[in-house]
Amino acid sequence: MLITLDDQNFEIEIENTKKPVLVDFWMFGCAPCFLLSPILEKLANDYGEKVIFAKANLDAVPLAAQKYGINMAPTVILFKEGKPVSGFIGARPEDEIRKWLEDLLSR
């Protein structure tokens, strides 16, 4: 599942689910964001039963970005029970993201 977040639905979507939510904070014109996007879409297909994947354009989530200290794109954060548990900044290779996600899901 891949959803789009903004400041109106951000807290609702990450808090009102039993599944972890992986949020990709991105911006228009961001080359690393463009590289990361298809990787996350593929992982969303592979892990859709276990994780909700979400995209949040930084221009659409200024309040959430401020709350979670997001000031660079892309920034990826995994939320569990509405709280950030881990994340990374910048584009990463698919195998590295997959390992990171597997490690977090096994906890």
Tell me the catalytic residues.
30, 33
Structure tokens, 93 = 């290779």
Question: What's the order of all strands across the beta sheet hosting 52-57?
Answer: 2-5, 52-57, 21-26, 75-80, 83-89
Q: What is the DSSP letter of 25?
A: E
Number of Cβ within a 10 Å radius of residue 100: 16
Do 70 and 20 form a contact (C-beta atoms < 8 A)?
no
